Amino acid sequence: MSAVLVEINNQSTLKKYLPLVKNKSVTERHPIRTPFLEEVDNYLKQYPKTQHIDIYLCDLNGHLRGKRIDVSCLSGLAKGCYFPLSIYAMSLDGKVIEETGLGKFIGEPDYLCEPVVGSLQPNPIDPEINAQLLLTMKESEEKDCGFEPRNILKKILKQLHDKNVYPCVSAEIEFYLQPLNSMEQVKETITQCFDINTSDLYQNILNEIEHIAKLQGVQITAIVSESSSGQYEINLLHTDDILKLCDQIMLLKRTIKQIAKKYGLRANFLAKPDMHQAGSGMHFHMSILDEYKNNIFSAKQDEMSEALLKVISGLLLFMPDSMAILAPNLNSFRRFKLGHHVPLEANWDFNNRNVAIRIPCSDQENQRLEYRVAGADCNPYLALATILTGAFYGLTHRLEIPKQANQLKLRSEHVLLPTDQIEALKQLKANNLLGDALGKEFIEVWCTVKQAEYQNVYSQITSIERNWDI
C-alpha cells in the first residue's frame, strides 16, 4: 500500500482516535474502594512476599504485551494505566504495521487500560514473589476499545445473553514439547498416543503445569499424550463464563511455555511445526443453555434436538469465511492436509474425527458439539467470537439443515474450506455479517496485519529455491 493511500485512508482514523486520549480524571471514575482493590488486598494476604506483577494486554495474535511493575504500584492500577493503541496493530514479530493507521500516523496515542477483575494470579515462575494481571483497553469513558479481541467477544456475548442464550464451552489445546537447541534430541524421548507412562522429564513438566494451573484457578480435566511423539493435549473444564475461559487459555499457554523453558524445552503451539507430524489444533466443545441453565441441545434418546441442528447449520454457513480467523497465519494453513483428522470441508457427523463439527458420544442431557477447525495458534477470543456469531445466526434464522458427511453423494454438496491465507482473507472481508459482528474497522486492521505477515514470509527466498539447478 502506498504512503499516499495510507494517508488518505487514515484521515478518518486520525479524527476518530486522537480525541479519545482525553479522558476524565481517573479519580472521578473510581470510588475509593473497588472490587479490584479488594482483590489486591486478598491476594497480598495469600502471597505476602509478592514483589513484581506482570501487567499485560492480549494482542491480535494472542501474544501478551505489557510490562513488569513493582508491587508498590499495584493498588494504583485501580485508577488505570496507559498503553499505546498500536499494540493492536502488531504483527507476529512484534512490529507495528503502519498501514493500519494505528501507529505513527496518529502519533502512537496511549489509551486508558483497566485491570480485569479476577485476573490477578501467580506467575508460573517463582509464584510466591511474582504475579500477573490482565488489562483491558478503553476507547472512552463508557466504551471498550473495538480493536481488542477480548472486547469483541465481550460484545458478542452480551448480545447473546440479552436473548437468553448462554454458551457453555470447554477447550482442548494441543502443543509439542521440543528441545530448545537440538532437534536430534527429539528422537531420544519418544512418547506414544494415549501412553500414560511418559518419561520422567515430560511427566515433571506436566505435573508442574498442573500445579501452577491450580494456583491460578485453572481447572485442567485431562492431559493426553497425542498421536505424534512429544505432542500433548490439555483439556479445560466446561463453563458458561466464556471470557474467563479465554483468559485461562492465555494464562495456560504462558504457563506451559515458561515451565517448558525452565526444563530446557520449548512448548510449540504452531499449527504445523513439522510437515511429517500431526498438526496442533484448539478444539472447542460447546452446548447452549437457556435462562434456566437447561441444555437446549438435549433431546430424547436417539434423536437430535432442533436447536443443535440449527446451530450446526449456522456454524457451517459461516465456517469458510471464518478461516482467516481460525487459521491466522501462513503456517496455520499447512495443517489442512489429508490425514491426522484435520477437516478440509465445512461438514458434520457423529463420532467422526475427520469432520469439522463432530457430535461426540454423550448422554442426551449432556449433548454437545465439537468444533475442530481452529489451530492451536488461534486467538481464542476471536475464534469463539466467530463461532458464536455463526451459532447465534443459525438459532435465529431458518436455514437448510445440511446432510451428515457420510450422506454427501454429489460433488456439489461438498463445501471446501479455503486452504490459502490470502483467499481466506478475501472471503472474510466480503462477509458483511462477520463484519457487523466483529466490527468492520477491526476486520480492516486484521486483514492489513495478516497481509503484511504473509508478505514478510512469502518475500523470503528459501534454501530449496537457492539449490534449484536453474
Cα dist from 232 to 1, 24, 66, 280, whole Å = 41, 48, 29, 9
pLDDT (tens digit per residue) in 314-334? 999 999 999 999 999 999 999
Cα(148)–Cα(87) distance, rounded to whole angstroms?
9
More confident residue, 214 or 140: 214
If phi > 0 it is left, if psi is from -120 to 50 it is alpha, else beta; for residue 25 that is beta
The pTM for the full model equals 0.91
- Cell numbers at 306, concatenated: 432442533
Residue 189, pLDDT score: 54
From 412, 411, 391, 424, select the one nearest 309 (Cα to Cα). Answer: 391
Cα(230)–Cα(191) distance, rounded to whole angstroms?
6
Average pLDDT in the 389-395 region?
A: 98
Q: H or E element: which one contains 8?
A: helix 3-9
Q: H or E element: which one contains 469?
A: none
3-state secondary structure of 374: coil
Confidence category of residue 412, pLDDT binned at 50, 70, 90: confident
Residue 14, pLDDT score: 44
Domains observed in the chain: 3-144 (3.10.20.70), 155-462 (3.30.590.10)
Residue 3, pLDDT score: 35
Cα(24)–Cα(436) distance, rounded to whole angstroms?
30
Cα(6)–Cα(100) distance, rounded to whole angstroms?
8
3-state secondary structure of 280: coil
At residue 1, does pLDDT exceed 50?
no
Residue 11, pLDDT score: 44
Highest mean pLDDT among 102-111, 319-328, 364-373: 319-328
If phi > 0 it is left, if psi is from -120 to 50 it is alpha, else beta; for residue 149 that is alpha
Residue 32, pLDDT score: 61
Residue 32 dihedral angles phi and psi, to the nearest 5°: -60, -45
Residue 20, pLDDT score: 47
From 285, 250, 283, select the one nearest 169 (Cα to Cα). Answer: 285
Cα(372)–Cα(317) distance, rounded to whole angstroms?
15
At residue 284, does pLDDT exceed 60?
yes
Q: What is the dihedral of CA 157, 159, 164, 167, to 10 degrees?
A: -30
Cα(298)–Cα(126) distance, rounded to whole angstroms?
45
At residue 191, does pLDDT exceed 60?
no
**Average pLDDT across the chain, whole number:** 89
From 458, 281, 267, select the one nearest 377 (Cα to Cα). Answer: 281
- Cell numbers at 145, concatenated: 476499545
Confidence category of residue 408, pLDDT binned at 50, 70, 90: confident
Which DSSP symbol is given to 455? H
Confidence category of residue 225, pLDDT binned at 50, 70, 90: confident
Q: H or E element: which one contains 208?
A: helix 200-215
Average pLDDT in the 141-153 region?
A: 95
Q: How far is CA 438 from the centre of its chain?
A: 14
CB atoms within 10 A of CB 7: 12
pLDDT (tens digit per residue) in 415-467? 999 999 999 999 999 999 999 999 999 999 999 999 999 999 999 998 898 89
At residue 407, does pLDDT exceed 90?
no
Confidence category of residue 25, pLDDT binned at 50, 70, 90: very low
Average pLDDT in the 360-373 region?
A: 90
If phi > 0 it is left, if psi is from -120 to 50 it is alpha, else beta; for residue 134 that is beta
Lowest model confidence (mean pLDDT) among 65-79, 196-210, 345-359: 196-210
3-state secondary structure of 20: helix
At residue 186, does pLDDT exceed 80?
no
Lowest model confidence (mean pLDDT) among 20-24, 340-344, 395-399: 20-24
Lowest model confidence (mean pLDDT) among 109-118, 159-168, 314-323, 411-420: 411-420
Burial level of 142, CB count in 10 A (0-12/13-18/19+)? exposed
Q: What is the dihedral of CA 298, 301, 306, 308, to 10 degrees?
A: 50
At residue 24, does pLDDT exceed 50?
no
3-state secondary structure of 402: coil
